[in-house]
């Protein structure tokens, strides 16, 4: 069986298994979320085959990291059963899983995968364990700094100042409604809070308290408080993605400055990871800035379409990379990069050929600089 068909069969069987698993009790799953997860499964399998067929050990490590990252697809699918089929008696199980796995671990692995590629190109002569040490030090340092409160206190999100203020306001809202039998406006609720008490809002002066109540008042409706609750977590996710974006820019900056020979399609993959990380920032920022919970879910669903599209493009370049390294000339090129990096030029892949064909004139100078061995004179 051809390699492409083998991967396709494994992927389709996996998708079929996922669909069958939904016969068991599970949380609601939207279509685009399932598609996005299915694409991550595809990228996971492509990463495994790249690990198998990569002949260069240092490049193999790049896809080991990507396999770990896209292997999160298994954990994302498992999330659908937390609180229903699994840990149904644990009221906080789904919350903790979302906090530690779907967010913290996910963005750590994303930054780690991207950082390793950058470290690999910056310090080409370093040993693999040295590259991993540098990557772990950089990403781990930022990760511990941002997420340390969540590990010292699993319920940290419920102890933030904004949530404490929201709880006070929610109690004041219930008290006002009980006393007067009607729902208060934000101004009435601010006036209802008695000053000089041992609470956060009551310690503020009248003007500041009214301003703060006006800011928090929309979060009292329905499940809007969840946007306030998860705000610090999403802000940390943004910071990890900003780290990833910065590392990708460093990667391209070094390529532009030094132009070292690079494995085929690696820079294209990094470009689409730049798009992917930017979209993750956009998703998290939209969530933070949206007050209504349902609106944030709708924005997230739209964002998932964009992310799924980028994942599909990454899968294309993973597949092109796999096809390249399993060819005779691909294996030769990758080995030459390791053994004689100064004596080999950059490989022109299919995307490079397309750009040259559409944006350059086939004059004599360009013909000399970008000769294609497949072109023949009439």
pLDDT along the chain (378 residues), means of 10: 89 97 92 95 97 89 97 96 91 95 97 96 92 97 97 95 94 90 90 79 86 94 94 97 97 87 85 96 93 90 92 96 83 62 55 57 48 48
pLDDT digits (tens, 9 = 90+) for 263-295: 788 999 999 999 999 999 999 999 999 999 999
The encoded tokens of residue 51 equal 């690990």
| CATH numeric code, 3-152+232-336 | 1.20.1070
Task: Give pLDDT, residue 369.
Answer: 44
Contacts of 310 (CB under 8 A, 6+ apart): 272, 275, 276, 279
The encoded tokens of residue 78 equal 């498992």
- The 3 state secondary structure assigned to the chain is CCHHHHHHHHHHHHHHHHHHHCCCCCCCCCHHHHHHHHHHHHHHHHHHHHHHHCCCHHHHHHHHHHHHHHCHHHHHHHHCCECCCECCCCCCHHHHHHHHHHHHHHHHHHHHHHHHHHHHHHCCCCCHHHHHHHHHHHHHHHHHHHHHHHHHCCCHHHHCHHHHHHHHHHHHHHHHHHHHCCCCCHHHHHHHCCCCCCCCCCCCCHHHHHHHHHHHHHHHCCCCHHHHHCHHHHHHHHHHHHHHHHHHHHHHHHHHHHCCCCCCCHHHHHHHHHHHHHHHHHHHHHHHHCCCHHHHHHHHHHHHHHHHHHHHHHHHHHHHHHHHHCCHHHHHHHHHHHHCHHHCCCCCCHHHHHHHHHHCCCCHHHHHHCCCCCCCCC
**Any idea where the domains of the chain sit in the sequence?**
3-152+232-336, 161-220, 348-378
pLDDT digits (tens, 9 = 90+) for 192-225: 887 766 678 888 888 898 999 999 999 999 999 9
Which pTM value belongs to this model?
0.88
């Amino acid at each position: 069986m051809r390699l492409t068909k083998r991967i396709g069969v494994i992927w389709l069987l996996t998708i079929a298994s996922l669909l069958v698993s939904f016969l068991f009790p599970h949380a609601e799953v939207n279509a685009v979320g399932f598609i996005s997860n299915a694409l991550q499964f595809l990228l996971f399998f492509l990463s495994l085959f790249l690990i198998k067929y990569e002949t260069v050990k240092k490049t193999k490590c790049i896809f080991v990291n990507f396999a770990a990252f896209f292997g999160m697809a298994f954990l994302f699918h498992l999330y659908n059963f937390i609180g229903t089929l699994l840990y149904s008696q644990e009221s906080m199980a789904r919350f903790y899983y979302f906090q530690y796995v779907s967010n913290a671990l996910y963005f750590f692995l994303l930054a780690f995968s991207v950082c390793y590629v950058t470290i690999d190109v910056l310090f080409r002569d370093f040993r693999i364990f040295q590259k991993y040490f540098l990557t772990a030090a950089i990403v781990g340092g930022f990760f511990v700094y941002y997420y340390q409160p969540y590990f010292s206190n699993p319920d940290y999100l419920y102890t933030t100042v904004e949530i404490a203020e929201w709880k006070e306001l929610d109690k004041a809202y219930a008290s006002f409604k009980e006393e007067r039998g009607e729902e208060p406006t934000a101004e009435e609720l601010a006036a209802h809070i008695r000053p000089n008490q041992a609470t956060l809002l009551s310690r503020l002066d009248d003007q500041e308290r009214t301003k703060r109540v006006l800011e928090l008042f929309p979060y009292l409706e329905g499940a809007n408080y969840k946007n306030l609750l998860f705000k610090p977590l999403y802000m940390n996710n943004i910071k990890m993605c900003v780290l990833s974006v910065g590392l990708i820019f460093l990667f391209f900056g070094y390529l532009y400055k030094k132009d070292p020979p690079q494995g085929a399609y690696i820079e294209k993959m990094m470009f689409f990871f730049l798009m992917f990380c930017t979209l993750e920032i956009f998703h998290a920022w939209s969530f933070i800035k949206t007050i209504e919970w349902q609106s944030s879910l709708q924005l997230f669903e739209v964002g998932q379409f964009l992310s799924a599209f980028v994942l599909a493009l990454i899968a294309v370049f993973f597949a092109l990379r796999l096809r390249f390294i399993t060819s005779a000339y691909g294996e030769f090129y990758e080995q030459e990069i390791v053994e004689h990096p100064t004596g080999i030029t950059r490989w022109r892949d299919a995307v490079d050929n397309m750009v040259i064909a559409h944006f350059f004139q086939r004059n004599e100078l360009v013909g000399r600089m970008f000769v294609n061995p497949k072109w023949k004179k009439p």
